[in-house]
């Protein structure tokens, strides 16, 4: 399972011209599912996402997590993250999880995230054509794999 987190001052997801998920500050997580992923992978990634220290403390150092800052979380499915881009000029999606597995693990991740953070989780729409707008704070972006 792959997560691309971006520390944001705001982010939103738009589907068919309608805002369906929006946060004012916290983390935008683009979530990619690989074919060998399980709920255990989702649990490990969730632990990493909400505890990863990417927010500044009083001294300006990145020592605080999403949980420490009471930040918001926007989770967006991103099937292109597991793509293999090492050869040629066209990505291979051979390692990507099939849509049924990806939906199952995405939904599982969102439910578990909702149980782990104080503020309600915001999401995109699985398999939809989404427009993601964000203001990356820093910029701070990390690729997380489990």
Where in the chain are the domains? 2-145
Q: pLDDT averaged over the chain?
A: 96
pLDDT for the residue numbered 107 = 98
**Tokens coding 82:** 């597991």
Instruction: Tell me the β-bridge partners of 109.
Output: none
Contact 22, 68 (CB under 8 A): no
CA distance 129 to 134: 16
Q: What CATH number does domain 2-145 carry, 3.10.129.10, 3.50.80.10, 3.40.50.720, 3.30.2010.10?
A: 3.50.80.10
Active-site residue flag, 80: yes
SS3 readout for 102-135: HHHHHHHHHHHHHHHCCCCCEECCCCCCCEEEEE
pLDDT in tens, 50-59: 999 999 999 9
pTM listed for this prediction: 0.96
pLDDT of residue 118 exceeding 90: no
Average pLDDT over residues 95-123: 95
Catalytic residue among 38, 59, 80, 123: 80
């Amino acid at each position: 399972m792959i997560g691309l987190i971006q520390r944001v001052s705001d982010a939103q997801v738009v589907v068919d011209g309608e805002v369906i998920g929006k946060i004012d500050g916290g983390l935008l997580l683009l979530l990619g599912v690989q074919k060998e992923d399980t709920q255990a992978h989702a649990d490990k990634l969730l632990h990493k996402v909400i505890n990863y220290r990417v927010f500044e403390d009083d001294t300006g150092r990145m020592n605080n997590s999403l949980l420490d800052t009471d930040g918001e979380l926007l989770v967006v499915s991103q099937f292109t993250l597991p793509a293999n881009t090492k050869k040629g000029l066209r990505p291979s999606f051979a390692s990507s999880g099939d849509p049924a597995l990806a939906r199952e693990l995405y939904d599982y991740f969102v439910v578990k995230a909702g149980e782990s953070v104080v503020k309600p989780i915001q999401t995109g729409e699985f398999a939809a054509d989404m427009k993601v707008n964000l203001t990356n704070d820093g910029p701070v972006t990390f690729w997380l794999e489990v």
